[in-house]
Amino acid sequence: MGYPMAGHLSKNKELELFVYNRTKSITTKWLNHHKGFAFQFDELLKIKFDGLIVCLKDDASIINVLVNQKLIRYLKHNTFILDHSTTSLQLIDLINSDKHIIKKNISFYDAPVSGGEVGAINGVLSIMIGGPNNKIPFLKKIMSAYSKSIVHIGPSGHGQLTKMVNQLCIAGLIQALSEGISLGQSAGLNMNKVLEAISNGAAQSWQMDNRFKTMIKEEFDFGFAVSLMIKDLKIALNEAQDKNLDLQISNIILQNYKKLLELGDGTLDTSSLIKLVKT
């Protein structure tokens, strides 16, 4: 996700962009195609940044880069961290309570994205933001390079809470699509005509528009992996449990994704859920 997002951002001539990936070869590849500079961790490096944009796998990755490797110390006073990762609320509390964040008055924004790898490549992501108001207009100008929708939901944490809602809705849709498609195929229906008949009605969704045909063909190489959905659903369901909510269907879907992981399908995209219905 971060690779194409940074690519779009590099076209902004007003920004001097430094990029970093934990896999050095990816940084090198990116720099061969886009304008920017490679960032390297060096205690002697004197450069200080006006802001930091992060897009990483999970809480542990963010803590490692920001805190353990001390990337926070490379930020100027009164700057920002814009985090496009999907994380827990505990991670946000940890970052906001960091002594360097407080001392430098750095504004942290939880700004997870939706739209998948295709959305990142095409620059049409949807972004949900939690954090203070003070830098939102400026950040929206930056994020417009790789997004079509930017909504400031509310204070710190509200971006991640909105992403939890998003992931629960997506998981439910994929489960329903899996079951509907399987029924249609088992009955010998012409599934292209089925799609034509229902895609403009109440069943229409992004998942249907973008995954119906590939699920029929059993093609599951479209970016957002089963292993990442498991991580996201765990975060959402833990939050629901704290609020005494019984999300029965979402819990069942999580167990289904875990079954796929056990079968060795953790790297397939989330629409591979249909494999369990067919077996």
Q: With left for phi above 0 and alpha for psi between -120 and 50, is residue 4 left, alpha or beta?
A: alpha
- Asked whether the predicted pLDDT for residue 46 surpasses 80, the reply is no
Express each pLDDT in 81-123 by its tens digit: 999 999 999 999 999 999 999 999 999 999 999 998 889 999 9
How far out from the chain centre does Cα 220 lie? 18
193 is catalytic: no
Domains of the chain with CATH codes: 2-154 (3.40.50.720), 161-278 (1.10.1040.10)
CB 67 within 8 A of CB 73: no
Marked catalytic residue, from 76, 141, 163, 243: 163
Instruction: Count CA atoms closer than 13 A to 25's CA, side-chain side.
Output: 0
Calpha distance 66→59 (Å, rounded) = 11
pLDDT tens-digit readout, 150-199: 999 999 999 999 999 999 999 999 999 999 999 999 999 999 999 999 99
| CA gap 107, 131 in Å, rounded | 8
pLDDT tens string 11-21: 999 999 999 99
What whole-number distance in Å separates Cα of residue 21 and Cα of residue 25? 8
Cα(223)–Cα(120) distance, rounded to whole angstroms? 11
**Can you give the pTM of this predicted structure?**
0.93
